[in-house]
Amino acid sequence: RRSSSLLALALLAGTQGQTATPTAVPTLPPPSALITAQPIGDSIFPALGQAGLDVLNYDLDLFVDRPGRSELRGTVVLTVTATQPLPVLSLDFLGPQVLDVRWEGLPAPYRHDQTAGKLTIQPPQPLRPGTLARVTVRFAGKAGVRPDPDLPIDVGWQAVPAQGDRVGANFTLSEPDGTRTFLPVNDHPSDPATFTTRVTVPAGYTAAASGVERAEVAAPDGGRTFTFEQAQPIPTYTLAIHVNQFERVDAAAVPVGVAGSDVLRRDYFPVGTQADTRAAYTSTGEILKVLAEWFGPYPFSAYGSAIVTPRVPALETATLSTMPVTSSNTRVLVHETAHQWFGDQLTLADWSEVWLNEGFATYAELLWAQAQGEAGEDIVRGWYARAGRSQTRPLVATSEAQLFDTTAYIRGALALHAVRVTVDDAAFKGYLRGWVAGFHNRPVTTADLLAYTRTRLGATAGAALRLWAESPELPPFPQR
């Protein structure tokens, strides 16, 4: 009771930061109603997200006034619903200062705890299942910081300062939970959403984002506003936003979308990108065709890459893979393209299940090599040797340090190979296509894949996957 009235006070205090609109804030409900925001309960990141919250769409208006710096400002309208009554909304947000929060257009009390990374919002009445609400958050300032134990960089909003003849740039690199450094979100892959993203940039700059470009209009002082629509739901960490002096290169559409529809093709190269960096991307169309043959229709309306100059990991940002100059090769491009199905369309129920992304994306590297006429045995042998040299573990991760380790990628890929060698390639193709087709409407787990494997391919395949998923040791080399 005591802590709940403190929270009520804190919520009140938050509203006093609002200076922009002199509108009266609605009266607060009894304090007891304010204490029930439960996180999703991720086993690796227990504080992320809100249980029972379902964000359907983020409509984002972002202004990047000085590319290359970490400041940004914007307004986001979240269309939300709930799977259980929610007396408060609790969004993940480390990022810029909150200026103003509105619930269906009316000022709403809020509290922004930038240390905890939570923006708590008080609706006029609880959000109930079957009802929709539009929540508007206006923000401005420096992006939040989210260090990654695995990487020399912070994840989230990247600021690339001007250097030599290179202009300043910005981009998102958010896996696993960096989107909350610049946007209030339900930052968990189990709550994918659609996005409308408008980005306003200064003269000479181009913005690119996940989805199909819908408009490009003039903004003050020679700037431009670019609008992108991502009409299929994607996890928050897969949202791409890029600001740079880009050359956009369009290529022929590839008819591998749902029901044979065209997938638009565009890549974004920073002005001055070398020819050998660009060369890798001429294979994108062919990669889409080969992977769509194995996995089923490409899930989105556009695909391509945005090239970035810092040495960071490549990332499977939806419809627009984020590709460092240093990773501009076919193998990495195949890997990120495969993630469009595994990670972006099929989403994780829990971060401990990330091998379901990385194992399938790594396996795609073998499928591509074989489509180029290679036998691929050397690749599988190489994987097995690598797995043997590193510490192994069951596939479901138990710590943050394990998320992107050799087990997730290499043992994950070998587990799929262990399934493949129990059947013929036609059956294996049907298996991969059936996994994507049958499981993209709800977040997936290893238990789902095990059950699906048994029903689809039988006991031998099921037992093979189970051994590779669960054995503390590295299982024997998979052979027919």
> How far separated are the first and last CA of the chain, in Å rounded?
64
Binding to ligand ARG in span 363-392, by CB under 6 A: none
Return the structure tokens found at 125: 């009445």
* C-beta of 11 vs 306, nearer to ligand ARG: 306
Q: 54 contacts which partner out of ligand ARG, Zn ion, none, CB within 5 to 8 A by kind?
A: none
Binding to ligand ARG in span 161-220, by CB under 6 A: 175
Q: What's the min distance (Å) between Cβ of 288 and ligand ARG?
A: 17
Integer angstrom CA distances of residue 394 from 35, 331, 409, 415, 473: 37, 26, 12, 11, 8
Select the span of 123-131, 148-156, 242-250, 365-373 touching ligand ARG (CB under 6 A). 148-156
Q: What's the min distance (Å) between Cβ of 282 and ligand ARG?
A: 21
Q: Is-contact 172 180, C-beta < 8 A?
A: no
Q: What's the min distance (Å) between Cβ of 474 and Zn ion?
A: 21
434 near ligand ARG (CB under 6 A): no
Q: What's the min distance (Å) between Cβ of 72 and ligand ARG?
A: 21
Mapped to the 3 state alphabet, what secondary structure does 226-257 carry? Answer: EEEEEEEEECHHHCCEEEECEEEEEEEEECCE
Instruction: Give kind and range of the element (H or E) at residue 208.
Output: strand 206-209
Select the span of 42-50, 150-158, 219-227, 442-450 touching ligand ARG (CB under 6 A). 150-158
Distance CA 151, CA 177 (A): 13
Q: Is-contact 433 296, C-beta < 8 A?
A: yes
314 near ligand ARG (CB under 6 A): yes
Select the span of 42-50, 251-259, 312-320, 437-445 touching ligand ARG (CB under 6 A). 312-320
Among 71, 150, 213, 400, binds ligand ARG (CB under 6 A): 150
Residue nearest to ligand ARG (CB): 150
CB atoms within 10 A of CB 451: 12
Select the span of 146-154, 158-166, 248-256, 284-292 touching ligand ARG (CB under 6 A). 146-154
Residue nearest to Zn ion (CB): 361
Return the structure tokens found at 388: 């043997």
* C-beta of 361 vs 436, nearer to Zn ion: 361
Residues that bind Zn ion (CB under 5 A): 358, 361
Distance CA 395, CA 359 (A): 9
Q: 151 contacts which partner out of Zn ion, ligand ARG, none, CB within 5 to 8 A by kind?
A: ligand ARG
* C-beta of 361 vs 413, nearer to Zn ion: 361
Q: What's the min distance (Å) between Cβ of 202 and ligand ARG?
A: 30
User: Which long-range contacts (C-beta less than 8 Å, at least 24 apart) are formed by 447-450?
Assistant: 449/356
Helix, strand, coil percentages for the chain (3-state, nearest 5): 30, 30, 40
Select the span of 147-155, 217-225, 376-384, 439-447 touching ligand ARG (CB under 6 A). 147-155
Q: What's the min distance (Å) between Cβ of 312 and Zn ion?
A: 13
Residue the block writes with tokens 């959000």: 127
Binding to ligand ARG in span 239-298, by CB under 6 A: none
Return the structure tokens found at 44: 């690796």
Residue 139: beta bridge partners?
74, 98
CB atoms within 10 A of CB 104: 12
Select the span of 2-10, 93-101, 127-135, 144-152 touching ligand ARG (CB under 6 A). 144-152
Distance CA 254, CA 247 (A): 21
Q: What's the min distance (Å) between Cβ of 335 and Zn ion?
A: 5
Q: What's the min distance (Å) between Cβ of 351 and ligand ARG?
A: 11
448 near ligand ARG (CB under 6 A): no
Binding to ligand ARG in span 326-355, by CB under 6 A: 335-336
Q: What's the min distance (Å) between Cβ of 323 and Zn ion?
A: 12
Degrees, nearest 5: CA angle 2-8-14: 135
Among 191, 316, 365, 448, binds ligand ARG (CB under 6 A): 316
Distance CA 279, CA 247 (A): 15
- Total binding residues toward ligand ARG, as defined by CB under 6 A: 13
Select the span of 97-105, 149-157, 414-422, 428-436 touching ligand ARG (CB under 6 A). 149-157
Distance CA 47, CA 41 (A): 7
Q: Is-contact 158 171, C-beta < 8 A?
A: yes
Distance CA 417, CA 437 (A): 20
Cis peptide before 176, with omega less than 30 degrees from 0? yes
* C-beta of 41 vs 313, nearer to ligand ARG: 313
CB atoms within 10 A of CB 378: 10
Q: Using CB under 6 A, list all residues that contact ligand ARG.
A: 148, 150-151, 155, 175, 313-316, 335-336, 358, 404
